[in-house]
Amino acid sequence: MGYTMHSDLKLAVPIEYPEEQRPSHVQKLERPQPLVKASRLAFLRFGKPDLDQCRNFWSDFGLRVVESTPMRLCMGTADGSPVAIVATKSAKPRFLGAAFEVDADVDWQDLLRRTAGRALGSDELPGGGSGIECIDPEGFAVWLIAPQARVDVKPVREAVPANGNTFHHANRINATVRTPIEPATVGRLGHYVLQTPRFAEMAQWYMSHLGLIPSDVQYLPDGSPLLAFFRLDKGGTPVDHHTVVIASGLKADYEHSAYEVADLDALGQGQQVMRAAGHEHFWGIGRHVLGSQLFDYWSDHDKHQFEHYTDGDVFTADRPTHYVPFAPGSIWAWGDDAPREIFPQKSLGMLWRAIQLVRRRVYSLDKLKAMAAATDQPARPWL
Ligand SMILES: [Fe+2]
């Protein structure tokens, strides 16, 4: 169900409906009037017990060390933004939240009042600056900050496909491809994904506090939304297909974050470096469906996942929201099967959590059954 079948091989691709052509039972994800529009995902914040391990993992992953003290580690990308990840020393690993830049001419006092936020001290912000902290319905912090000063960094190399040979065009003549075996230099922070049992509340909160646009909404057979990919609203300026993803789950949690690299060869050579250094590979290389990225996922020592990606879709604000029936096969177009860990694992703990969510009326039993049925579908029935 929810697939277009190809010939008698039963190969299938998911169906995608532009908003105005969605089936009548599919609920529209209404957009609230935003308090402010975010212009850039600046950095992510984690609490981490072992900052040395983090520094090793993220260095091999292709990030650069910006600041390293016993209590705080800041890692940066190559796009000139001053910082992409901030890890502070903590007893347990946990995701703390994200920082987004907003336009400098925003009325900060008014925004502080309307968001019921807290003014950030300049010592809290890596590199200084100003901003406010808001807390989302699950307790994750979202920092709205003034644009940060750019820094000079080593550029990312040109992509191999820029002069690649294809069936139709021989662009590279008397020249070879010799990409270096080196960490996949991370150009920039792209997106992050949160799970939540309160999808509707979280989706509304993130749209209203960041001005996000839903790019794709995936729904259950009853037409209710299960997860949504959100992009920034920068009018006619193209932006990533998704910067924030909100996904229904049994607990509030960080799912993964993603970092753009030069090209497919950077994914592959970066994978060799990560494997050689003994890091835990999670999933890839493959191509996503919604967002279209070529991807490769890694787990750090705290089981936090980090994705290298390249060749993602970019949309302007006028591209309509699409609605897509949820199925595991709609997550990726090709590549190895996704590890089962990307979906909730059946266990006594999961059952207990599910019972609590039904008791607290966060989920109905029917909704939980529909979610379980959707994630239990085989992703690639033809394999
Ligand atoms: Fe991703």
9 pLDDT more than 70: no
Distance (angstroms) between ligand 1 centre and the Cα of 329 equals 15
Distance (angstroms) between ligand 1 centre and the Cα of 291 equals 9
DSSP 209: H
2 pLDDT more than 70: no
Distance (angstroms) between ligand 1 centre and the Cα of 27 equals 24
Average pLDDT, whole number, for the chain?
92
Delineate the domains of the chain, giving CATH numbers in brackets.
Answer: 33-148+186-376 (3.10.180.10)
CA dihedral 212, 231, 85, 294 (to 10 degrees): 160
Task: For 169-183, write each residue's pLDDT tens digit.
Answer: 999 999 999 998 899
In the structure, what pLDDT confidence band is assigned to residue 47 with cuts at 50, 70 and 90? very high
Q: Quick one: which of 339, 331, 345, 327 has its CA closest to 250? A: 345
Residue 323 parent element (H or E): strand 322-325
Question: pTM here?
Answer: 0.94
Distance (angstroms) between ligand 1 centre and the Cα of 6 equals 27
Which of helix, strand or coil describes residue 282? strand
Which of helix, strand or coil describes residue 162? helix
Name the maximum alpha-carbon separation found in the chain. Answer: 69
Distance (angstroms) between ligand 1 centre and the Cα of 311 equals 12
Distance (angstroms) between ligand 1 centre and the Cα of 305 equals 10
pLDDT for res 1? 45
CA-CA distance, 319 to 324, in Å (whole number)?
15
- Alpha helices (runs of H) in the chain, residue ranges in sequence order: 51-61, 108-115, 199-210, 264-276, 348-359, 365-376
311 pLDDT more than 60: yes
**How many C-beta atoms surround the C-beta of residue 347 within 10 A?**
9
Distance (angstroms) between ligand 1 centre and the Cα of 295 equals 8
- Alpha helices (runs of H) in 116-263, residue ranges in sequence order: 199-210
Distance (angstroms) between ligand 1 centre and the Cα of 114 equals 31
Q: At what angle do helices 348-359 and 365-376 cross, to 10 degrees?
A: 140
Distance (angstroms) between ligand 1 centre and the Cα of 191 equals 7
48 pLDDT more than 70: yes
Share of the chain above pLDDT 90, in %: 76
Length of the chain, please? 383
Q: φ and ψ at 21, to 5 degrees?
A: -110, 10
Distance (angstroms) between ligand 1 centre and the Cα of 361 equals 30
Tokens linked to 321: 């929201």
Distance (angstroms) between ligand 1 centre and the Cα of 258 equals 5
CA-CA distance, 101 to 111, in Å (whole number)?
13
- Tokens 């969605």, located at residue: 22
pLDDT for res 35? 95
